[in-house]
Amino acid sequence: MNDDVLLVHGGTPVEGEIRVRGAKNLVPKAMVAALLGSAPSRLRNVPEIRDVRVVRGLLQLHGVTVRSGEEPGELVLDPSRVESANVADIDAHAGSSRIPILFCGPLLHRLGHAFIPGLGGCDIGGRPVDFHFDVLRQFGAVIEKRADGQYLEAPRGLRGCKIRLPYPSVGSTEQVLLTAVLAEGVTELANAAVEPEIEDLICVLQKMGAIISMDTDRTIRITGVDKLGGYTHRALPDRLEAASWACAALATKGSVYVHGASQREMMTFLNVFRKVGGEFEVDDAGIRFWHPGGPLNAIALETDVHPGFQTDWQQPLVVALTQASGLSIVHETVYESRLGFTEALNQMGARIQLYRECLGGTPCRFGQRNFLHSAVVSGPTTLQGGDLVIPDLRGGFSYLIAALAAEGTSRVHGIGLINRGYENFIEKLEDLGAKVERP
Ligand SMILES: CC(=O)N[C@H]1[C@@H](OP(=O)(O)OP(=O)(O)OC[C@H]2O[C@@H](n3ccc(=O)[nH]c3=O)[C@H](O)[C@@H]2O)O[C@H](CO)[C@@H](O)[C@@H]1O
Ligand SMILES: C=C(OP(=O)(O)O)C(=O)O
Residue 209 confidence (pLDDT)? 98
Q: Looking at residue 1, what is its pLDDT?
A: 57
Distance separating alpha carbons of residues 436 and 235, to the nearest angstrom: 31
Does 334 carry a binding-site annotation?
yes
pLDDT higher than 70, residue 9: yes
Q: Is 311 in the pocket of ligand 1 (CB under 6 A)?
A: yes
Q: Does this model's pTM top 0.95?
A: yes
Q: How far is the CA of 27 from the centre of ligand 2 (A)?
A: 13
The average pLDDT across 284-290 equals 98
pLDDT value, residue 2: 66
Residue-wise DSSP of 3-17: TTEEEEE-S---EEE
- pLDDT the model gives residue 363: 84
**Number of other CB atoms surrounding residue 361 within 10 Å:** 9
Residue 27 has pLDDT above 90, yes or no: yes
Q: Distance, CA 9 to ligand 1 centroid (Å)? A: 35
Closest residue by CA, ligand 2 atom 5? 121
Cis peptide before 307 (omega within 30 of 0): yes
Q: What is the pLDDT of residues 100-135, one digit of tens each?
A: 999 999 999 999 999 999 888 898 999 999 999 999
Distance separating alpha carbons of residues 236 and 260, to the nearest angstrom: 9
Q: What is the pLDDT of residues 58-75, one digit of tens each?
A: 999 999 999 999 999 999
Whether residue 288 has its Cβ less than 6 Å from ligand 1:
no
Q: Nearest residue CA, atom 4 of ligand 2? A: 121
Say whether 424 counts as a known binding-site residue. no
Catalogue the E-assigned strands of 224-304.
232-234, 255-259, 279-283, 286-290, 296-297, 300-302
Task: Convert the pLDDT of each residue in 235-257 to its tens digit.
Answer: 999 999 999 999 999 999 999 99
Average pLDDT over residues 138-152: 94
Using alpha carbons, select from 320, 330, 176, 179 the residue that is nearest to residue 245: 320
Segment 326-343, tens digit of pLDDT: 999 999 999 999 999 999
Each residue's pLDDT tens digit, 395-434: 999 999 999 999 999 999 999 999 999 999 999 999 999 9
Name the closest-CA residue to atom 2, ligand 2: 122
Q: Work out the pLDDT band at 148, boundaries 50, 70, 90.
A: confident
Spatial neighbors of 348 by CB under 8 A, at least 6 apart, are 383, 384, 385, 386, 388, 402, 406, 410
Q: Which residues are catalytic?
A: 122
**Ligand 1 neighbour 357 (Cβ under 6 A):** no
Query: Does any ligand 1 atom lie closer than 6 A to the CB of residue 25?
Result: yes
Position 435 pLDDT exceeds 80: yes
Spacing, Cα 127 to ligand 2 middle (Å)? 10
| Mean of all residue pLDDT scores within the chain | 96
Structure confidence by residue, pLDDT tens digits, 169-226 = 999 999 999 999 999 999 999 999 999 999 999 999 999 999 999 999 999 999 999 9
Q: Ligand 2 — pocket residues by CB below 6 A?
A: 24, 97-98, 121-122, 240, 312, 393-394, 421
Rounded to whole angstroms, the Cα distance separating 414 from 115 reads 30
pLDDT tens-digit map of 267-280 = 999 999 999 999 99
387 annotated to a ligand binding site = no
What is the length of the chain? 439
What are the angstrom distances between the C-alpha of 294 and each of 185, 253, 297, 380? 59, 9, 10, 12
- Ligand lying nearest the CA atom of residue 397: 2
